[in-house]
Homo-oligomer: A and B are copies of this chain.
Amino acid sequence: MWMSDLAAASGLPVATVKFYLREGLLPPGEATGATRARYDDGHVRRLRLVRALTEVAGLRLDAVRAVLAAVDDDSRTFHEAMGSVHHRLTAEGAEPSAASIAQVDALVERRGWQLYDPNPHRMALARALDALAGLDHAASEDLLDDYADAAEAVARRDVASVGREDRVAGAEAAVVGTLLLEPVLLLLRRMAQEDASARMGDRGVSSAPTSRRRG
C-alpha cells in the first residue's frame, strides 16, 4: 500500500506517519522510486502500536522507542522482554529512604516474589512510599498487602494470557497485554472510586448540580 493508505489504515495523519518514519519508530517501506515506497500490514500494525503507546499509555517518544527496541529484539524470552520493557519504563530518581526500601523488601519477602536484581521497581516503589509519608499518608503494611493482592490477581491473569503465545508475538504481547492494560486498570479504579465515594453518602450535599446516572 502507499503512504496515504497506510495513514488511513492506522488512523493517523500522513504528516505524523512521515514524522515517525524520520524518527525511526517505523521501518522504511520498500522503495519503488525516488520518492515513493510501498508499505505492508506490518507497518500498519507498528503504527497502531506506536499510536496506542502514545495516546493510550501516554508514553513520550523516547519511551516508545525503548519499548519498540525491546519488542524487536527477538533473542529475548517473553520473560526477558517483559522485564526489559518494564525496566526501561521505570524512571530512575533520587535515592529513597532506607525505611521505605526496607518496607518494600519486607513486602517482597512476604509475597515471596521472585524479582530481577537490581530492580528499578523496588526503588521507584520506595520513592513513592517516601512521597506518601512526606504528605502524612504513609502507606501501611496492610494497605500494601491489599494493593499487592489486587496486583497479583491481575498479573497472574496477564502473564497466563500472553505467555502462551510464541516468542516474537510474545515480546509484542508483553507490551500490549501488560502496558496497554495499565490505563485500563487505572481507569477502572477511578470509576470504582467514584462509585464507592458516591455510596459513602456525601453526594449531592453541595450546591453544585450534578446529574448522575446509574450504570
Contacts and interface: CB of A to CB of B under 8 A. Distances in A.
Interface of A: 11, 45, 48-49, 51-52, 55-56, 58, 75-80, 82-83, 86, 90-91, 93-94, 105, 108-117, 119, 121-122, 124-125, 127-129, 131-132, 134-135, 137, 139, 143-144, 146-161, 163, 167, 172-173, 176-178, 180-200, 202-215
Contacts of A160: 196
B137 A146 contact: no
- Of A45, A122, A154, A208, the most chain B CB neighbours within 10 A belong to A154
Q: Which of A124, A137, A190, A194 has the most CB of B within 10 A?
A: A190
Counting every copy of the chain, the complex holds: 2
B113 A192 contact: yes
Contact of A215 (B83, B109, B149, B213): B109
A176 B79 contact: no
B146 A157 contact: yes
Contacts of A152: 192, 195-196
A15 to B, nearest CB: 16
12 contacts: A52-B131, A77-B203, A77-B204, A79-B202, A82-B193, A111-B192, A113-B191, A124-B187, A135-B180, A144-B188, A163-B197, A185-B185
